[in-house]
Structure 1
Amino acid sequence: MAQLVVTYRTPTDPAAFDAHYRDVHAPLARQIPGLRRFDLSDGPVMTPEGPSDIHSIAILTFDSLADLTAAMGSPEGQAAAADVGTFATGGASMQMFETREA
């Protein structure tokens, strides 16, 4: 398996971020070819010390890193990636990796 983890820092308008994510971005992301699972954090993102500067975390799962890379290069993947800049006013970071059971 492989995952794409997207970490969104706190936006300037959290309510607008949440509405755009729900109504526009998530539907775009669900169209990415090869997507097996799409999880989104629910509620505050905390650290062991307390609140963080992270508003939301998305985890997208694919069969392999090759599938994930191909998916991100697809028109659907490019559309979803381009949309991030329209609502993630706090910034976002993306990490892609293979996974294994530990």
Structure 2
Amino acid sequence: MAKLVALYRKPADRNAFDAHYFDKHVPLAKAIPGLRRYEVSVGPIASAKGESEFGLAAILSFDTFDSLLQAMNTPEAAATTADLQNFAQAGVELLVFDTKEV
């Protein structure tokens, strides 16, 4: 499976962030063609050194890396990306990669 991981930095107003994220952003992202699974973190995000700068992690799964790349070139993905400016002012890191089971 291929993954897109979005690491959202802690927002100034977590309630406003959560309201927009779950009410507006998630439905936009769920409309992206080829999306197979959408997971989000629950509770605090820690690093090996303790508390991290991130307040939410989202993991979107696709069948293949090619299908992920194709999905990212759709109008649905463009709308999802454009929506980031509406709630992710603290910043977001987007990572994409293929995976294999070992």
TM-score computed with the length of structure 1 as normaliser: 0.95
Letter in 2 for 1:60: L
Q: Which runs of 4+ in 1 moved over 2 A?
A: none
Q: Which moved more, 1:41-50 or 1:74-83?
A: 41-50
Displacement of 1:51:
1.5
Alpha-carbon distance between aligned partners in 2 of 1:52 and 1:41, rounded to the nearest angstrom: 13
The within-5 A match list for 1:1-102 is 1-102=1-102
Alpha-carbon distance between aligned partners in 2 of 1:85 and 1:23, rounded to the nearest angstrom: 15
Alpha-carbon distance between aligned partners in 2 of 1:88 and 1:38, rounded to the nearest angstrom: 18
Alpha-carbon distance between aligned partners in 1 of 2:47 and 2:93, rounded to the nearest angstrom: 17
Q: Which moved more, 1:89-98 or 1:46-55?
A: 46-55
Q: Secondary structure at the match of 1:36?
A: strand
Q: Secondary structure at the match of 2:11?
A: coil
Q: Secondary structure at the match of 2:93?
A: strand
Alpha-carbon distance between aligned partners in 2 of 1:27 and 1:64, rounded to the nearest angstrom: 22
Alpha-carbon distance between aligned partners in 1 of 2:26 and 2:100, rounded to the nearest angstrom: 26
Alpha-carbon distance between aligned partners in 1 of 2:49 and 2:30, rounded to the nearest angstrom: 33
% identical aligned pairs: 48
Unaligned segments of structure 1, at least 5 residues: none
TM-score computed with the length of structure 2 as normaliser: 0.95
Alpha-carbon distance between aligned partners in 1 of 2:86 and 2:70, rounded to the nearest angstrom: 23
